[in-house]
A and B are shown apart, each in its own frame.
Chain A
Amino acid sequence: MSQFKLNNQYKAIVIGGSAGSFQVISKILSNLPKDFELPIIMCLHRLKHVRHGFVEALNIKSNISLYEPEDKDSIKKGKIYLAPANYHLCIELGNHFSLSTEEMVNNSRPSIDITLETAAYVYKNKLIGILLTGANKDGAMGMKKIKDRGGLTIVQEPSECMIDTMPVAAIKLTQIDHVLTVSQIIAFLQELDKVYKQST
């Protein structure tokens, strides 16, 4: 049945999203198996000065509880991480995070480009990048870096997006592997999980 030709080489999934992505993420999270095999690192644009509420709101529907990492926390299998408010979330060699209060990138902190680029650098072809609906170009460059380093790239089908600027910018900048609707993204992740479970 698979259109994706999946294997179990991947070490992590990064997801970026902005305007309109809350519902999309919620839907994806409520359809993931509880024991999903890979770490998922999410960078979503959010209010800079509201520290609380976002992770709690996403947790209501999610099968796996989300966690806002602290500086130098290690990245573990089966966990879902969310970039905290007002910090860039970077992935370091040695499989851990670091945080930064650097200048905003694309008017954003956290910036999706930073999370995606640092993940691409560390995981190379063992990374899957997913970019969802959004009203800004943040994330497009990060998707290009993932592609350039051999990772797998997926964007949400623009016609289905609340605002399609973000996936369209990524499609323009690089050769995206799969343009998928939210239901297809969910199917992709479920199938990926099965591949991992069958091989262990």
Chain B
Amino acid sequence: MQEIEIAELRKLTEVIKEKYNYDFSNYAMSSFKRRIQRILEMYKLASVDVLIKKLTEEPRFFKEFVSEVTVNVTEMFRDPSFWRELRDHILPNIMLNHNNISIWHAGCSSGEEVFSMAIVLKEMGILDKTKIVATDIDTDILQKARSGVYSMKNMELNQKNYLRFQGTTTLEKYYKEENGKAIMDKSLVEHVSFREHNLVASMAFSKFDLILCRNVMIYFNQALQNNVLKMFHESLFKYGYLIVGSKESLIWCEIANKFIVANNEEKIYKKIKD
């Protein structure tokens, strides 16, 4: 297949912005290009122009497009040492001054990160003191998160991660197996609000003690990262924490001086200035 040209991608993002008011023009180019390539192959479309035509003519296809253009790969207890740090230091620190905790998972994908959080909170005995908002741009993946049903194949890795996290029990305690699927204990996410939300050009909508946005901004260019980080800063209470993926960093961004590094290895930042 022909290599996709940047000019074609520009045209595509313009059309999408015009028609659907979603702006993908600041996504990191190389992965965005691969996603589009993949969509062309999946739907057997001959070129980006054909994709543009399909998007213009079939509004219903746009939802699927959003689903496919985003990368949803995730795990429970991804980076087990991070979850230990959260349990042993960050959450206890927040609890020192608060009776309740509010948490935002931005880009929660199929919910594994949210279930991990709920399990940590439950094992600490503070799940009922927590309010969690979990958001993603992709409505299909949010539906999967709400249902809390995962393939058993994935549970192998999740279990390994949980073991390395060193929880108080085994991961099996939190789901039952049915027809090759793991059905998560729904009471874990009873108080989680799963909502559609686009981080691009968004305004702060609430305040939180803790925001997790892991492995989401790697798909954005630095200009967009900067804007989103500003919005996260506004969405945090003073002394609240922002946590990004293990290979992301805040030190370069415009509002870096409003945060201190709480844990460099696990990419945990603490807001110290409004």
On A, residues with C-beta under 8 Å from B are: 49, 51, 68-72, 84, 87-88, 90-93, 98-103, 114, 118, 121
Contact = CB atoms under 8 A, between A and B. Distances in A.
Contacts of B187: none
B34 A72 contact: no
Given A70-B248, A70-B249, A102 B71 contact: yes
A85 B71 CA distance: 17
DSSP class of A's interface residues: helix, strand, loop or mixed? loop
A61 B225 CA distance: 37
18 contacts: A51-B79, A70-B249, A71-B247, A71-B249, A72-B225, A88-B31, A91-B30, A92-B30, A100-B30, A100-B71, A100-B218, A101-B73, A101-B74, A102-B31, A103-B73, A118-B30, A121-B3, A121-B30
A51 B246 contact: yes
B247 A90 contact: no
Q: How large is the interface on B (under 10, 10 to 19, 20 to 34, 35 or more residues)?
A: 20 to 34
B28 interface: yes
B123 to A, nearest CB: 22
B34 A102 contact: yes
Contact of B31 (A49, A84, A100, A121): A100
B40 to A, nearest CB: 16
A57 B74 CA distance: 28
A49 B215 CA distance: 16
Contacts of A99: 218, 247-248
Contacts of A92: 28-30
Max chain B Cβ within 10 angstroms of own Cβ: one of A84, A87, A101: A101
B78 to A, nearest CB: 8
Contacts of B73: 101-103
Interface in B194-230: 215, 217-219, 221-222, 225
B30 A70 contact: no
Contacts of A87: 247
A100 B219 contact: yes
A114 B248 CA distance: 19
